[in-house]
Amino acid sequence: MIIFDLICADGEHRFEGWFGSSDDYADQQARGLLDCPVCGSGNIAKAVMAPNLGRKGNQQAASARPAEERTEMPVAAKPVSNDVAVPAEYREIIGKLAEAQEKMLASSEWVGDKFADRARDIHYGDAEEKPIHGTASQEEVADLAEEGIAALPLPLPVLPPESKN
């Protein structure tokens, strides 16, 4: 494969053309098969380009330096943070929301993946009425809603008690 930088007649649009050989380029050019992908002009020519020459197998790359000559990598003057910039008022709101959720969870029982069954038991009077929290699939939540049982998602993610360190 050979890659040529090509240019349209106006000289405004420069683009690459990939050919099997230099002869393939000449053949396609002679048959009028080359068009500018931007403006559609059929008047295409090779643009001036630097040759892409490979190194000989016994030569090192010019940029490689022996290990003893290498210097340390530059370090940023200030530490860089990967945190997303969140306005202070949002952090405050999220903090208050987390506190409220923590208080609610402290007075609620974790029932894990038995949430839908336990919610039904409480709703139909088969179990003591008390706040519960756990996990449920979307289908289970939809079924609860059809039965008139309210089930709301928690505002912030919660780890099951057995997962906490």
pLDDT digits 0-9 by tens, 115-144: 999 999 999 999 999 999 999 999 999 999
- Torsions phi, psi of 134, nearest 5? 180, -155
Residue 139: predicted pLDDT: 95
Q: Is residue 66 part of a domain?
A: no
Residue 130: predicted pLDDT: 94
Q: Is residue 25 part of a domain?
A: yes
Q: Is residue 27 part of a domain?
A: yes
Q: Is residue 56 part of a domain?
A: no
Q: Which domain holds residue 119?
A: 88-160
Q: Is residue 111 part of a domain?
A: yes
Residue 126: predicted pLDDT: 95
Q: Are residues 40 and 100 in the same domain?
A: no
Q: Are residues 96 and 150 in the same domain?
A: yes
Q: Is residue 156 part of a domain?
A: yes
pTM, 2 dp: 0.46
Q: Is residue 121 part of a domain?
A: yes
Burial class (CB in 10 A: 0-12, 13-18, 19+), 13: middle
Q: Is residue 15 part of a domain?
A: yes
The domain total for the chain is 2
